[in-house]
């Protein structure tokens, strides 16, 4: 029997507000406006926390489904929806939808027209859309980033940014930071070279590209084999959406594994900027600083997951930090002004390293890793 994906709304009540254009200030305040979800994770800090108080432990037993609607897709539904002014915007590999939040009625739907031979993936779009200035932005698995009119679903612009025949595809949510739309890529297991792109949200003009593996003459290129083109196929994909600090005007974006997994093919070197968090200027793509969680990553532990932003007291001083529970087993706290390591503690049993040296920022390896 064919499985039909459905969207299930579980609500106690819905309020709406006048439909106004979504500004940079609205994105900054997304976490404090629970009636709307404009960006992935409900805010730039990536805490995925809602201040709503209407649903709590005293009434959660009263939650019941009030509507469901088919998303007309035969693969998995992993993308979180966006919400604005009583309308829910959902995406998958086949469609983009606008749905009335109270009734589940489809307001419009726009098909995704994939290039011939493009791969459909059940994990398509692990993020979702982003809303900004009356437009809905998304990526498609065949390496397109596009803008739709929120009112009608009409496509406003569409840009192709990579070739699927070379192993690239796209699954992550884009983000808007300081007026620039930023999108990543997938395919780190396919001997690709990772990158981030910056776009003009109004026109679709490409503003910059930042490769996550440095080329000849760039800082970090020495962490790849000399006199080799290994950097062109070394991975470091960018499929998980970044975080953003508007005060520092820095985007924090994690990268995935180095490729190939066998470290001998990469000279046993650090393989920057794989398994790393990059602090990037959104207007230019310039790298401000970085921290590499796992130099010479051989286990595909990545550095891709959410960089949660917080301000905490460290030795009597308030510090701007980013926190990540890395797949390598350590929970990291990194100063987000300069990417220096503050703390790293195991949160599960770890046998590949004894600890992380706070002076060097590097893991101290056991014989299992050497």
Look at strands 175-177 and 6-10 and give their pairing: unpaired
Identify the pLDDT of residue 20.
60
221: left (phi over 0), alpha (psi -120 to 50) or beta: alpha
Q: Within a domain: residue 358? A: no
Identify the pLDDT of residue 121.
55
- Cβ-contact 252, 240 below 8 angstroms: no
Q: How far apart are CA 309 and CA 317, in angstroms?
A: 16
The first and second tokens of residue 331, run together, are 């929970």
Q: Within a domain: residue 307? A: yes
- Cβ-contact 294, 332 below 8 angstroms: no
CA dihedral (270, 272, 276, 277) in degrees, to 10, reads 140
Q: How far apart are CA 98 and CA 357, in angstroms?
A: 49
**CA neighbor of 211 nearest in space, from 188, 193, 224:** 193
Instruction: Tally Cβ neighbours within 10 Å of residue 162.
Output: 20
| Residue 128: partners with Cβ closer than 8 Å, 6 or more residues away | 40, 79, 80, 81, 82, 90, 91, 138, 173
Burial class (CB in 10 A: 0-12, 13-18, 19+), 293: buried
CA 129, chain centre distance (Å): 11
Burial class (CB in 10 A: 0-12, 13-18, 19+), 300: middle
Q: Within a domain: residue 50? A: yes
Q: Within a domain: residue 369? A: no
Using DSSP's 3-state secondary structure scheme, residue 264 falls into: helix
Burial class (CB in 10 A: 0-12, 13-18, 19+), 289: middle
Residue 288 structural domain? 6-113+121-317
Burial call 167-202: b when 16+ CB within 10 Å, e when fewer: bbbbbbbbbbbbbbbbbbbbbbeeebbbbbbbbebe
Q: Within a domain: residue 366? A: no
Q: Within a domain: residue 12? A: yes
Using DSSP's 3-state secondary structure scheme, residue 202 falls into: coil
Write the secondary structure of 24-46 as one string of H (helix), E (strand) and C (coil).
Answer: HHHHHCHHHCCCCECCHHHCCCC
| Residue 127: partners with Cβ closer than 8 Å, 6 or more residues away | 40, 79, 80, 171, 172, 173, 174, 240, 241
**CA neighbor of 304 nearest in space, from 223, 184, 139, 161:** 184
Instruction: Tally Cβ neighbours within 10 Å of residue 251.
Output: 26
**What CATH number is given to the structural domain containing 293?**
2.140.10.10
Catalytic residue IDs:
300
- Cβ-contact 281, 208 below 8 angstroms: no
C-alpha distance from residue 8 to each of 95, 122, 125, 301 (Å): 17, 19, 18, 33
Instruction: Tally Cβ neighbours within 10 Å of residue 268.
Output: 12
Q: How far apart are CA 21 and CA 195, in angstroms?
A: 30
Q: How many domains does the chain have?
A: 1
Identify the pLDDT of residue 116.
79
Phi, psi (degrees; rounded to nearest 5) at 297: -60, 120
Identify the pLDDT of residue 8.
43
- Divide the 370 residues of the chain into consecutive groups of 10 and give the mean pLDDT of each group: 41 41 91 90 92 91 93 80 96 94 97 80 72 97 96 98 93 96 93 97 99 97 94 95 98 96 90 98 99 95 95 97 98 98 98 97 89
Identify the pLDDT of residue 126.
76
């Amino acid at each position: 029997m064919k499985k039909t994906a459905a969207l299930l709304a579980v609500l106690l009540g819905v309020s709406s507000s006048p439909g106004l254009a979504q500004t940079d200030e609205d994105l900054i305040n997304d976490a404090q406006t629970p009636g709307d979800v404009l960006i992935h994770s409900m805010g730039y800090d990536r805490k995925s926390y809602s201040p709503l108080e209407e649903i709590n432990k005293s009434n959660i037993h009263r939650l019941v489904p009030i509507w469901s609607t088919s998303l007309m897709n035969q693969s998995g539904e992993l993308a979180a929806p966006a919400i604005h002014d009583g309308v829910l915007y959902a995406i998958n590999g086949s469609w983009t939808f606008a749905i009335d939040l109270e009734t589940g009625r489809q307001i419009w739907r726009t098909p995704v027209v994939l290039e011939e031979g493009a791969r459909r993936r059940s994990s398509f779009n692990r993020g979702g859309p982003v809303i900004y200035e009356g437009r809905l932005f998304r990526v498609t698995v065949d390496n397109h980033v596009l803008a739709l009119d929120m009112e009608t679903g009409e496509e406003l612009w569409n840009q192709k940014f990579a070739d699927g025949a070379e192993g690239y595809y796209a699954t992550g949510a884009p983000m808007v930071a300081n007026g620039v739309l930023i999108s990543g890529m997938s395919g780190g297991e396919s001997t690709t070279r990772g990158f981030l792109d910056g776009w003009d949200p109004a026109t679709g003009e490409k503003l910059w590209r930042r490769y996550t593996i440095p080329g000849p003459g760039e800082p970090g290129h020495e962490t790849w084999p000399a006199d080799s083109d290994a950097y062109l196929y070394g991975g470091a994909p960018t499929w998980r959406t970044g975080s953003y600090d508007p005060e520092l005007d820095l985007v924090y974006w994690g990268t995935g594994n180095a490729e190939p997994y066998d470290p001998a093919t990469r000279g046993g070197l650090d393989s920057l900027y794989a398994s790393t968090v990059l602090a990037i200027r959104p207007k230019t793509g310039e790298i401000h600083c970085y921290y590499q969680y796992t130099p010479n990553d051989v286990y595909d532990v990545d550095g891709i997951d959410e960089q949660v932003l917080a301000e905490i007291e460290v030795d009597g001083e308030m510090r701007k930090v980013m926190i990540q529970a890395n797949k390598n087993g350590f929970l990291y706290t990194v100063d987000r002004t300069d990417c220096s390591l503050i703390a790293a503690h195991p949160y599960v049993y770890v046998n590949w390293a004894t600890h992380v040296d706070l002076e060097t920022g590097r893991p101290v390896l056991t014989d299992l890793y050497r």
